[in-house]
Structure 1
Amino acid sequence: MERNSLPVSAWEEPEKVDEVLRAVDTRLDGKQAAAWPRKRHRRILNVVMKHAIRRRVLRTNPLPKGKESTTVTKTSNAVDKRSLMNADQAAALHDWIRRRPRGGERLHAFFATLYYCGLRPEEAVAMRVEDVTLPGPDAGDQWCELLIHAATPEVGKQWTDTGEIHEERDLKGRAQGETRTVPGHPALTRVLQRHIEDEELKPGDLLFQGEMGGILAGSVIRRAWRSARKAVLPPRLRVAHG
């Protein structure tokens, strides 16, 4: 790295700074990167510069400040509705998954929970039966409530302290130990009531389990979703709803 890296003093040359900024704003294919990754890359660079200043390697931050550095990296939180599935497409996808010969009913309940409650997959696979508040057995036309308090992302055995594929964490973007409650549509109430009954689940059991009773694997989730999209959606829509 030392042989192939420029000295830190290169940051004192405006031309080199501009060259680096152009590089972090450009994808490998030569096209301009999207606004959010460009903004993230510049934030990372600023952290590096502040570290160099603290270590007295640099005297000042060479990166541009103010409007000059932010106007080109504006981002928007608005959702492009063209990328969202409509109710008919969702129904067709869920119905195809439900009729899947291997674990279809179980996966249908999982994807229905994502659809109606907007959960992240790692939040849904961490849920226990006791985290769902359902109305009475004859009240399928009422809303249910989900308590979300943990996430179990699939990070790989080499990255966890336990050697397991999954690692339990707090909710993303929230304080440690913080929870949130999510209302569930009456249609989801019916799905979850039937799912819990058919699987004979107890309060402390995982709500969505794999075939062997453990955490529902990400590979199973991804395979089912890809197959459903391929079977139900026309080619022009598969990328948009990926």
Structure 2
Amino acid sequence: MNISYDVKFWDIRRNASSKTPSYEVRWKVGGKQKSKSFRTKALGENFLSALRQAAKRGEAFDIATGLPESMVEAEKDVGPSFLDFARSFMASRWLHSAARTRETDTYALLSLIPILVKDLPGKPADDELRAVLRNHALLPEGRRGDLAADRVPLLRWIEAASLPLATLQEPRVVRMALDGVALTFDGMAASANSVRRKRSVLHHLIETAVELGELPSNPLNAIKWKPPKTMGAVDPRTVVNPVQARELLAAVPSIGRTRGPRMAAMFACMYYAALRPEEALALRCQNCELPEHGWGRLTLEKARPQANKRWTDSGETHDERGLKHRAKDDTRHIPIPPALVVVLREHITQYGTAEDGRLFRTSRGRPFSSSAYSAVWQEARRLALTPQQVASPLAARPYDLRHAAVSLWLNAGVPAPEVAKRAGHSVDVLLRVYAKCVEGQQDRVNGKIADALDD
């Protein structure tokens, strides 16, 4: 290794030639200028700080790489690269994961792999690297198609540049990873929920590495880093009252020639039975007890969540899965009011069922996509709500019908364990998520306290 103690540093500068915002660290070793680009100034400052500290300790710098000896040693082959381990991590989780989980894992890794790299020449744009990772490198071998010839150099670059997994033991590298999960692909601050999900994937990956003996311990535990706070409770502003709910549901059938009418009963299930959209899409005629008079009952067995075909087992946009947070063959029983019984009976009379008994599908028998039913819902909001309400969070998503249902049950005085059983929650999660939506209890509670004080 050709070394030098002649090191000079410059201030970080904005890279004006980059398509997306980036910052360039520049330094000189033995008269040869070096540079490395980062997506944020904070990442660049961390790297520059590590270089300065090495120089202060009197370390020799490698003229070829521009790095101090400690960094060169850390980058020697000490086990799998981060990319290699990420690929094995994805392969090990694929069989037992739902399509959406696979997608979440992948998008977290797309935030990490392009930044945990060595400063090798000819780095491709991050969006090009992410495309190769998403469409090829992070898929199990049996799911990969042929890689286009012009994409092969991109894969070869990231394979050569990916840092050794062992470098995650360095606080500098761990902070780079945490800063990476805190950003969107455009370099902007990510939402709190997105940061939480991506950090969780990083945590699971590192824990797997510790379990397999690739890392001695989880370095995340030694880093003082606070993720942005997430809002775990339902926003009461999204919850419609019964009058508003009925007006919204009444507006749906008037939208489009067949789209709205075919979806009306599905939205009704979300409101009157608190079904999740993926549960409604999996509802079959044989799951429904619909008497001519009185209350009926739904027995939920499956869900059909939507995901990109790349992640599903079937190669379709909807995989059939078990119910959320339940064992594979577990079921959920939901009594339904006469209003929903009538709606479902009329829907079956009008549109029949698919061959497997499913109630809700397009005229061609396909499941409704989330974009299709979301578009219908937005049209219904414009018809049923005032302009001020349309601009507000009120029933902004179809899922908010489920929130409205659960909030209604709680405010009606239905015991929390019964609400949790019908909604498919645990009691503690139910009370935490819907704590802000329980209203009108104060006077009653005050009366009980006053009675107790008078005893």
TM-score range, shorter chain: 0.7 to 0.9
Aligned equivalent of 2:350, options 176, 185, 198 = 198
| Partner of residue 31, structure 1 | 189
The one of 261, 279, 282 aligned to 1:105:
261
With the length of structure 1 as denominator, give the TM-score of the two structures.
Answer: 0.79
Q: Secondary structure at the match of 1:63?
A: helix
**In the alignment, is residue 153 of structure 1 matched against residue 299 of structure 2?**
no
- Partner of 1:121 in structure 2? 277
Distance 1:133 1:3, change over 3 A: same
Question: In structure 2, how many angstroms separate the alpha carbons of the residues matched to 1:72 and 1:101?
Answer: 44
Q: What 5-or-longer segments of structure 2 have no aligned partner?
A: 1-157, 398-455
2:244 is aligned, of 53, 78, 89, to 89
- For residues 157 and 30 of structure 1, the distance between their equivalents in structure 2, rounded to whole angstroms, comes to 28
In 1, the alpha carbon distance for the partners of 2:210 and 2:270 equals 45
What is the aligned length?
A: 234
Task: Encode CA deviations 1:124-179: one digit per residue, 9 max, x unaligned.
Answer: 122111211122x2x2xx22211100112333544445444432111122101111
CA distance in 1 between counterparts of 2:230 and 2:251 reads 36
Higher CA-based Rg = 2
**Matched residue of 1:145: which SS?**
strand
- Per mean C-alpha deviation after superposition, the further-off stretch among 96-105 and 155-164 is 155-164
Shift of 1:72: 4.8
Structure 1: distance between partners of 2:196 and 2:354? 46
Map of 2:53 onto structure 1: none
Query: Which residue of the other structure, out of 165, 168, 187, is the alignment partner of 1:8?
Result: 165
Higher relative contact order (CA 8 A, sep 6+): 1
Check whether the contact 2:296–2:336 (CA below 8 A) recurs between aligned residues.
yes
Residue of structure 2 equivalent to 1:221: 373
How far residue 187 of structure 1 moved from its aligned partner, in angstroms, is 1.6
AA paired with 2:368?
A
CA drift of 1:188 comes to 1.0
CA RMSD of aligned residues (A): 3.1
Matches within 5 A, 1:21-100: 21-27=178-184, 28=186, 30-31=188-189, 33-34=191-192, 36-64=193-221, 72=227, 75=230, 77-100=232-255
> Residue by residue, what CA displacement relative to the aligned partner does 1:47-72 show, whole Å, maximum 9, x if unpaired?
22233334444322211269x66x75
The one-letter code sitting in structure 2 at the alignment partner of 1:111 is F
Normalising by structure 2, what TM-score? Answer: 0.45
> Which amino acid in structure 2 is aligned with residue 150 of structure 1?
K
Query: Shift of residue 240 of structure 1?
Result: 6.4
Q: State the SS of the aligned residue for 2:373.
A: helix
Matches within 5 A, 1:127-138: 127-135=283-291, 137=292
Q: How does 1:136-215 map to 2 (within 5 A)?
A: 137=292, 139=293, 142-199=294-351, 205-212=357-364, 214-215=365-366
Structure 2 CA distance for aligned equivalents of residues 114 and 100 of structure 1: 18
- Cα deviation code 1:29-61 (max 9, x no counterpart): 543631x43333332222222333344443222
The more displaced of 122-131 and 7-16 is: 7-16
1:160 and 1:19 map into 2 onto residues whose CA distance is 31
Going from structure 1 to structure 2, the CA distance change for 1:20 and 1:156 (only over 3 Å counts) comes to closer
Q: Identify if the C-alpha distance between structure 1 residues 216 and 63 changes in structure 2 by more than 3 Å, giving closer, same or farther.
A: closer
> Quick one: distance in 1 between partners of 2:161 and 2:197?
25
How far residue 225 of structure 1 moved from its aligned partner, in angstroms, is 1.6
Q: Deviations over 1:67-95 (max 9, x none)?
A: x66x7566554211112233333222212
> Following the alignment from structure 1 to structure 2, what is the Cα–Cα distance between the partners of residues 163 and 20?
32
Following the alignment from structure 2 to structure 1, what is the Cα–Cα distance between the partners of residues 355 and 211?
A: 53
Query: Partner amino acid for 2:201?
Result: I
- C-alpha separation between the residues in 1 aligned to 2:188 and 2:310? 33
